[in-house]
């Protein structure tokens, strides 16, 4: 379960692409002289998306045992990353793939904890 959670968390972490796209759109809007409010919103959304994705990756490492920490904190970080991406970006194509992968990863992490899988992951 932990290995599946790790793989899905890494896949879900590619939501940073949507953050980079938003950030680039903000830079293009700033260079084009569009409204200052929309530029600030796009830049902030891009930075928040990158931060939420980083938190989700850290949570994935905690659940899989690759980063020292409690797995429950990792599950919470993945859930915050998924819900935060829905709040910031909305459910669009790229973000929905990320949110589903992070949600499944958090669910599998919970399942691994409930089964008492506190042991390190054994390589295949």
pLDDT in tens, 48-65: 888 888 888 888 888 877
Taking the complete model, does pTM exceed 0.85, yes or no? Answer: no
Give, in order, the Cα–Cα distances in Å from 59 to each of 42, 74, 76, 105.
26, 3, 7, 10
Let me know how many helices (H) and strands (E) the chain has, helices first: 5, 0
Higher-confidence residue of 110 and 41: namely 110
Q: Which domain holds residue 56?
A: 2-114
Judge contact between 116 and 5, C-beta under 8 A. no
- Looking at residue 123, its pLDDT comes to 47
Quote the mean pLDDT of the chain.
74
pLDDT in tens, 12-29: 767 666 667 766 766 666
Is residue 7 assigned to a domain?
yes
Is residue 108 assigned to a domain?
yes
- Looking at residue 38, its pLDDT comes to 67
CA dihedral 19, 25, 29, 31 (to 10 degrees): 100
The two tokens of residue 97 are 């793939």
Is residue 68 assigned to a domain?
yes
Is residue 59 assigned to a domain?
yes
Number of domains in the chain: 1
Is residue 124 assigned to a domain?
no
């Amino acid at each position: 379960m932990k290995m599946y959670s790790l793989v899905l968390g890494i896949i879900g972490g590619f939501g940073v692409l949507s953050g980079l796209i938003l950030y680039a759109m903000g830079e293009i809007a700033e260079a084009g002289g569009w409204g200052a409010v929309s530029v600030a919103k796009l830049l902030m959304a891009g930075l928040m998306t990158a931060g939420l994705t980083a938190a989700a990756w850290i949570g994935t490492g905690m659940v899989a045992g690759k980063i020292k920490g409690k797995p429950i904190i990792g599950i919470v970080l993945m859930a915050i990353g998924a819900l935060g991406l829905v709040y910031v970006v909305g459910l669009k194509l790229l973000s929905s793939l990320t949110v589903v992968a992070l949600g499944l990863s958090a669910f599998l992490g919970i399942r691994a904890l409930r089964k008492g899988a506190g042991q390190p992951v054994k390589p295949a």
